[in-house]
A and B are shown apart, each in its own frame.
Chain A
Amino acid sequence: MAYLDHAASTPMLPEAIAAVADAMARAGNASSLHAAGRRARRTVEESREAVAAALGARPSEVLFTGGGTESDNLAVKGLYWARRSPSRTRVLASAVEHHAVLDAVEWLVAHEGATVTWLEVDRLGRVHPEVLEAAMGPDVALVTVMWANNEVGTVQPVVALAEVAHRHGVPFHTDAVQAVGQLPVDFAASGVDAMTITGHKFGGPLGVGALLLGREVAVTPLLHGGGQERDVRSGTFDTPALAGLAAAATLATQRQPIVATNLAALRDDLVRRVLAAVPSAVYNGDPVHRLPGNAHFSFPGCEGDSLLLLLDARGVEVSTGSACSSGVARPSHVLVAMGQDEETARSSLRFSLGHSSTPADVDALLEVLPGAVERARRVPVR
């Protein structure tokens, strides 16, 4: 078996599993005042401090959430609601955002009187600061551009983009879900106002994440209740999950430089060998500003769905990019935004490497890929 889908979810680090199990063995609600509650609260707050330290934030800037989707929704809707006025209803978002941002923005347009300007990307998937500058105006409520793209791996010039937004006095959110553990991520140094992270992309548990939110940034809550997180997010603290998130964040950011070097070497080998084995393959995305674990190709004449099925049957696990809940593949909005036609967009596969990837995974892929491509070319295109 070769797992080449770390961008979907990467295996938990043993230290994170131990931290979760440890905390699970202890009872207690971190909001309770007795000894058990205080013990839980200590775990929660130490986790907060660890996440903050790992990502260059202050502890008070770490709001724990139920994962990337919740953090993105809280940032996009919360910033919009907090800043909306009759003359300020426009949202600026890149055209290549994850659906957690994309659909939240579209919901604001459909139900909350928002308008949207989709920031176009170049052929490599990059948003240029001049494009953002040209779209700015006094009516902009927020700007959201992801740190790194989940499909093609393109890394955005987030620092420069945040500067543009700030020159106009507009808060800037970034979805950094794919970046943590693969790229150096420093909340304070980046200058962004809000940043989404999620545990299971860097060796932590599923279902837990955080929104890093500057202390002065106003956000209207999505979830009302006990007000556990700065009154912006409510819900009983998930102490074990937070302990696991903290352990993973600490280790993943410590190891990031060496992991990134190793992944980039392995990925470059994969790319070279895929292009040699399938000369017609097209390597998508930015060759330089890119997640070290990401390799994304179009295979003209094939459907990504067919390739996935054929590779899966041979024990090689990959992704066509983004699946929707019903499992029905749609042409990727990311590739379409980068100027690909629908047919090419449907011919794509993403190979993503992570902390547990080995050269044997790449060998396994190359062993079966040429045969799969040859067979997939015979499948009638729908």
Chain B
Amino acid sequence: MKLLAALSGGVDSAVAAALAVEAGHEVTAVHLALSEAPEALRSGSRGCCSREDARDAARVADVLGIPFYVWDLAAQFREDVIDDFVAEYAAGRTPNPCLRCNEKVKFAAVLDRALALGFDAVVTGHHARLDNGVLSRSVDLQKDQSYVLAVLSPSQLAATVLPLGGITKDEVRRLARERGLGVADKADSHDICFIADGDTAGFLRTALGEQPGPVVDALSGAVVGHHDGAYGFTVGQRRGLKIDKQDGVPRYVLSIEPVSRTVTVGTQEALDVDTVRTGAPVWSSPRALPLACTVQLRAHGMVHDCTVTAMVTAGATAGATASGDGWELRLTDPARGVAPGQAAVLYDGDEVLGSATIREALLIG
């Protein structure tokens, strides 16, 4: 096959490209320039788009002897990932920018471009298995990225090659060393690539300005503190709440109401939810509803047994179960700290079934 390898400058995408070359594919590499000011982004271990990463990616391509180009997708990345990230926090939700980047940039803009240029598929270094269009968890559960890939449609998955799903991160590093790839021992990237210092709250404060508001206790209804911006909080968060606790019991963020900027807090038990409602789903492996399966409600989160039913959006015409409708997930046992904006990803064992954005989470009992 003619494959387009996305090289981030990290070890995973390097080994993925190497394996694709060794499997006999005709591989061309691209590095995505995602920052409008590359020098302003952190370099090395924490970033994904610094000048150093671009150089590392080029080095890998040259060692593998494959063509290498830089594609400037900074404007697209800003619009679809960074602006979306800020807007979601401003709306009181907790977005996952990696998921959005996969959905809108890596497996949309890049894939569309690759197919138009005559490539058969893109190859990436994500840790997930993809066999005959079936997406499932990596054998390395610590590194599994199926959660942020679940947003891909069957047609996107059909044009994707993930060579690393069957091997662990340690093996990836060993394969890189064996091939003389300089990135073999490069530190993993983590956190959010476009937030240079890892200070998400500071980044949002710069983007959104100070938006002070009250912190309200769910039990008493009393204002127990104030904050500089509701966007600094995520459902389930405990740290950073500067509030009076007369009873000495820890309080957690239960909900964020963006218009009145009200952050509601409560005790840990109040975080329990048993019902999750979502926006429109993307099915990677379509199933009929209702459906009994498991669901993961945040990146690196645990899985919960659940029953999925179709949820007809209020106002939709009677009897309509159009694809625009979301899911209602009834959890067998309550889950804690479910944040609107995160994805609900359905699994059958290790196999990914589909993904949808969480709109609300509640305790019905």
Determine the distance from Cα of A329 to Cα of B71 in the docked complex, in whole angstroms: 8
Query: What residues on B are CB-neighbors of A375 within 8 Å?
Result: 116-118
A375 to B, closest residue via Cβ: B118
Question: Which of these, B28, B70, B113, contacts A328 with CB under 8 Å?
Answer: B70
Query: What residues on B are CB-neighbors of A305 within 8 Å?
Result: 69, 71
A310 to B, closest residue via Cβ: B117
* Given A309-B67, A312-B67, A329 contacting B72 (CB threshold 8 A): yes
Smallest Cβ distance from B341 to chain A, in angstroms? 27
Contact with A along B15-35 (1 / 0, CB 8 A): 000000000000010010100
Question: Which of these, B31, B51, B117, contacts A306 with CB under 8 Å?
Answer: B117
Determine the distance from Cα of A305 to Cα of B118 in the docked complex, in whole angstroms: 14
Determine the distance from Cα of A312 to Cα of B68 in the docked complex, in whole angstroms: 10
Q: Please determine whether B28 and A313 come into contact, CB atoms closer than 8 angstroms.
A: yes
Q: Please determine whether B33 and A380 come into contact, CB atoms closer than 8 angstroms.
A: no
Q: Please determine whether B70 and A309 come into contact, CB atoms closer than 8 angstroms.
A: no
Smallest Cβ distance from B75 to chain A, in angstroms? 7
* Given A309-B28, A309-B67, A313-B67, A378 contacting B116 (CB threshold 8 A): yes
Smallest Cβ distance from B235 to chain A, in angstroms? 36
Q: Please determine whether B116 and A382 come into contact, CB atoms closer than 8 angstroms.
A: no
Q: Taking the complex as formed, is B73 at the interface, i.e. its CB lies under 8 A from any CB of chain A?
A: yes
* Given A378-B116, A382-B75, A326 contacting B67 (CB threshold 8 A): no
Q: How many A-B residue pairs have CB under 8 A?
A: 46
A377 to B, closest residue via Cβ: B116
Query: What residues on B are CB-neighbors of A329 within 8 Å?
Result: 72
Q: Please determine whether A382 and B69 come into contact, CB atoms closer than 8 angstroms.
A: no
Determine the distance from Cα of A326 to Cα of B34 in the docked complex, in whole angstroms: 12
Contact with A along B71-82 (1 / 0, CB 8 A): 111011000000
Determine the distance from Cα of A119 to Cα of B118 in the docked complex, in whole angstroms: 43
Query: What residues on B are CB-neighbors of A312 within 8 Å?
Result: 67
Q: Taking the complex as formed, is B273 at the interface, i.e. its CB lies under 8 A from any CB of chain A?
A: no
B72 to A, closest residue via Cβ: A328
Query: How many A residues are at the interface, by size bracket?
Result: 10 to 19
Interface residues of B in 245-270 (CB under 8 A from A): none
Query: What residues on B are CB-neighbors of A382 within 8 Å?
Result: 72-73, 75-76, 109
* Given A305-B71, A309-B28, A382-B76, A326 contacting B113 (CB threshold 8 A): no
Q: Taking the complex as formed, is B272 at the interface, i.e. its CB lies under 8 A from any CB of chain A?
A: no
Which residue, of A306, A313, A328, has the highest number of chain B Cβ atoms within 10 A?
A: A328
Query: What residues on A are CB-neighbors of B133 within 8 Å?
Result: none
Q: Taking the complex as formed, is B140 at the interface, i.e. its CB lies under 8 A from any CB of chain A?
A: no
Query: What residues on B are CB-neighbors of A378 within 8 Å?
Result: 116
Q: Taking the complex as formed, is A279 at the interface, i.e. its CB lies under 8 A from any CB of chain B?
A: no
Query: What residues on B are CB-neighbors of A308 within 8 Å?
Result: 69
Smallest Cβ distance from B321 to chain A, in angstroms? 33
Name B's A-contacting residues (CB within 8 A). 28, 31, 33, 38, 51, 54, 58, 67, 69-73, 75-76, 109, 112-113, 116-118
- Ordered by A's residue number, 21 sampled pairs between the chains whose C-beta atoms are within 8 Å are A305-B69, A305-B71, A306-B113, A309-B67, A309-B69, A310-B117, A313-B28, A326-B38, A327-B33, A327-B69, A328-B33, A328-B70, A329-B72, A375-B117, A378-B116, A379-B113, A379-B117, A380-B112, A380-B116, A382-B75, A382-B109
**Given A306-B113, A326-B33, 20 more pairs with CB closer than 8 A:** A305-B71, A306-B117, A309-B28, A310-B117, A313-B28, A326-B51, A326-B54, A326-B70, A327-B54, A327-B58, A328-B33, A328-B70, A329-B72, A375-B116, A375-B117, A379-B116, A379-B117, A380-B109, A380-B116, A382-B73
